[in-house]
Amino acid sequence: MALRIGLGTDLHRLEEGIPLVLGGVTIPWHKGPAGHSDGDAVVHALIDALLGAAALRDIGFHFPDHDPAYQGASSISLLREVHFLLKSHGWQLVNADVVIHLQAPKLMPFISDMQQKLAEALETTPECISIKAKTGEKIGPVGEERAVEVCAVCLLERS
Ligand code: MG
């Protein structure tokens, strides 16, 4: 089969005083994702989408959260590793589409930087990486600014 679709999701609790890193971009804000790595939920969801499309398990399988090697790890470097893993299995990214659920701050000013960062790690162009942002309508964990949630889909083709 020449084309494969993948889906990935991630959720992180937001806590005071932690840097907010999304899509490899540090966003000035008073709260950030609690997590073993840098908690970059955009990259984590995208990694799971990519691995899912290739049926190569999931992020926890490749980067166990009990492994001290990934304490404070830059998620972008993990994305790069996954990209090379896919390449070695003969897969190439066609496109990815990502939805970030976050009440605040507004992400519009940071979207193109995220596209750039993710495209670099995946050796593609920013036009292949769509990123959209939605609020939580002030209800639920996202709306009450207690969590960031991300959903990603991607398409792979045989290289
Ligand atoms: Mg995560």
CA of 85 to the centre of ligand 1 (A): 19
For position 131, what pLDDT does the model report? 98
> What is the arithmetic mean of pLDDT over 136-156?
98
Tell whether the model's pLDDT for residue 71 goes beyond 70: yes
- Count of alpha carbons within 13 angstroms of residue 138, beta-carbon side: 0
The burial of 130, by beta-carbon neighbours within 10 Å (0-12 exposed, 13-18 middle, 19 or more buried), is given as middle
What angle (nearest 5°) sits at the alpha carbon of residue 28, between those of residues 121 and 82?
20
CA of 38 to the centre of ligand 1 (A): 9
CA of 2 to the centre of ligand 1 (A): 29
- Residues 38-57 have pLDDT tens digits of 899 999 999 999 999 999 99
Which helix H or strand E contains 22, and what residues bound it?
strand 20-22
Q: Is 115 helix (H, G, I), strand (E, B) or coil?
A: helix
| Reported confidence tier of residue 73, pLDDT bands at 50, 70, 90 | confident
Tell whether the model's pLDDT for residue 156 goes beyond 70: yes
CA of 3 to the centre of ligand 1 (A): 26
Instruction: Give the contacts of 21 (CB within 8 A, at least 6 positions apart).
Output: 27, 32, 33, 38, 39, 40, 75
The burial of 36, by beta-carbon neighbours within 10 Å (0-12 exposed, 13-18 middle, 19 or more buried), is given as middle
| Reported confidence tier of residue 1, pLDDT bands at 50, 70, 90 | low
Tell whether the model's pLDDT for residue 97 goes beyond 90: yes
CA of 57 to the centre of ligand 1 (A): 15
Which residues surround the ion ligand 1 when the cut-off is CB under 5 Å? Answer: 10, 44
Task: State pTM to two decimals.
Answer: 0.96
- Sheet containing 31-33: which strands, arranged edge to edge? 31-33, 3-16, 147-158, 91-101, 129-134
The DSSP bridge partners found for residue 27 are: 20
- Residues 19-41 have pLDDT tens digits of 999 999 999 999 999 877 889 99
| Reported confidence tier of residue 104, pLDDT bands at 50, 70, 90 | very high
CA of 100 to the centre of ligand 1 (A): 13
For the chain, the C-alpha Rg in angstroms (whole number) is 15
